[in-house]
Amino acid sequence: MVNPTSIFLWEGKVQLGDEPGIYGDAAYSGIGVKFPITLANINPAAPQDDVLKITLKTSDVNVYTGYPGHKIVIYDYSPDPNTQYRWVETILQDSARITRSRKTIFEVPIKLFQGSFYIALGIEVDTTVKPGLYDDFLLLGIDYFADKESVYAKFGFQ
């Protein structure tokens, strides 16, 4: 059996940008969006570190020369150690950027964990250009692959 190069996580059509309705068949999210993802160990008895490779499928990305591109942010959600029944959102990573259409691949290191691990994939439109000139583009899909195949991802918090 051949191992897959990526595993489907989400597919749809979401417009990001500052001009609603450019894509009539897409949901409009404004200048940012967050997708909740639950990670779990394939073998809960022997969890291990892994690296998640996430692929974003996009269309119509046009970043002006000299500008950084659209920011990809990975958030972690974990129990607040100081307050019972409260959770804390922490930024795990915010260095990856979407700079062109088709595919953007980036890595998220996953440290050893028990049970479920909750993250969110955030995409923020590049706002270093003047409002009104923000790039409007489509997010079409999210795939992933775990290097050691020790974790799997589920769309949503479960």
Closest CA to 76 of 40, 43, 36, 106: 36
Burial tier of 4 (Cβ tally within 10 Å: 0-12, 13-18, 19+): exposed
- Assess whether pLDDT exceeds 60 at residue 2: no
* Predicted local distance difference test score (pLDDT) of residue 3: 61
- Would you state the pLDDT for residue 113? 87
Quick one: 8 exposed, middle or buried, by C-beta within 10 A (0-12, 13-18, 19+)? Answer: exposed
What is the predicted pLDDT for the residue at 1? 53
pLDDT of residue 46: 85
CATH number 1.10.287 given to 14-155: no
- For the segment 59-71, the average pLDDT, to the nearest whole number, is 96
> Do 107 and 53 meet the contact criterion of CB atoms below 8 Å apart?
yes
- Give the rounded percent of residues in the chain with a pLDDT score beyond 70: 97
Split at pLDDT 50, 70, 90, the class of 115 is confident
Residue with the bigger pLDDT between 114 and 74: it is 74
pLDDT band at 20; cut points 50, 70, 90: very high
User: Average per-residue pLDDT in the chain?
Assistant: 94
Beta-strand runs (E) in 18-112: 27-30, 32-41, 50-59, 70-79, 87-98, 102-110
pTM: 0.92
